[in-house]
Amino acid sequence: MSELLRGIIGMSDWRVWAMFGVGLALIWLAVKKEYEPNLLLPMGFGCLLANIPFSSAVGGGFLDVLFKGGITNELFPILIFIGVGAMIDFGPLLQDPEMLFFGAAAQFGIFFTMMLALLVGRIPGIMGIPGLREAAAIGIIGAADGPTSIYVATRFAPALLAPITVAAYSYMSLVPIIQPPVIRALTTREERMIRMENPEREVSKTVKVIFPIAVTLIAGIIAPMSVALIGSLMFGNLLRESGVTERLSKAAQNELTSLVTILLGITIGSSMGGRQFLNPTTLLIIAMGLIAFVFDTAGGVLFAKLINLFRKRKINPMIGACGISAFPMSARVIQKMAQQEDGSNFIIMHAVGANVAGQIASIIAGGLILALVR
Residues near another protein (CB under 8 A) are 93-94, 97-98, 100-101, 103-105, 107-108, 110-112, 114-115, 118-119, 122, 131-132, 135-136, 139, 201-207, 209-211, 214-215, 218-219, 222-223, 357, 360-361, 364-365, 368-369, 372-373
Least distance between another protein and beta carbon 44 (Å): 34
First-last CA distance in the chain: 52
Residue nearer to another protein on the CB measure, 34 or 246: 246
Q: Which SS3 state, helix, strand or coil, does residue 293 take?
A: helix
Our measurement of the distance from residue 247's CA atom to the centroid of its chain's CA atoms, rounded to an integer in Å, reads: 27
Q: Give the nearest distance from C-beta 112 to another protein in angstroms.
A: 8
Name the residue nearer to another protein (CB basis): 184 or 205.
Answer: 205
The residue (of 27 and 105) whose beta carbon lies closer to another protein is 105
Cβ-based nearer residue to another protein, 57 or 94: 94
Query: Which of 111, 346 has the CB closer to another protein?
Result: 111
- Mention every residue, 6+ apart, whose C-beta is less than 8 A from residue 146: 39, 77, 80, 165, 168, 169, 172
Helix, strand or coil, per DSSP, at residue 280: helix
DSSP 60: S
| Alpha-carbon distances of 13 from 7, 17, 25, 115, 159, rounded to whole Å | 11, 7, 19, 36, 21
CA triple 357-360-70, angle to 5 deg: 145
- In degrees and rounded to multiples of 5, residue 168 shows phi and psi of -60, -50
The answer to whether 70 touches 263, Cβ cutoff 8 Å, is yes
If the CB atoms of residues 84 and 365 are measured against another protein, the closer one turns out to be 365
Closer residue to another protein, CB minimum distance, 171 or 211: 211
As measured in angstroms, the least distance from the Cβ of 373 to another protein is 6
Q: Taking the complex as a whole, how short is the minimal distance between the CB of residue 74 and another protein, in angstroms?
A: 20
d(CA 373, CA 217) in angstroms, rounded, equals 22
Distance of closest approach, residue 291 Cβ to another protein, in angstroms: 14
Please state the closest distance from residue 51 (CB atom) to another protein, in A. 34
From the CA atom positions of the chain, what is the Rg in Å? Answer: 21
8 Å CB contact between 365 and 140: yes
**Least distance (Å) between residue 202 CB and another protein:** 5
Which one, 12 or 206, has the nearer CB to another protein?
206
Q: How many CB atoms neighbour CB 259 within 10 A?
A: 12
d(C-alpha 353, C-alpha 350), whole Å: 5
> Contact at 8 Å (CB) between 312 and 98?
no
Taking the C-alpha atoms of residue 331 and residue 178, their distance in angstroms, rounded to an integer, is 13
CB atoms closer than 10 angstroms to residue 196 = 18
Closest CB 118 distance from another protein, rounded Å = 5
Q: In angstroms, what is the minimal distance from the CB of 107 to another protein?
A: 6
Least CB distance to another protein at residue 114 (A): 6
Which residue lies nearer to another protein by CB, 40 or 117? 117
Q: 51 or 216: whose CB is closer to another protein?
A: 216
Residues 6+ apart with CB under 8 A from 179: 293, 297, 321, 324, 330, 333, 334
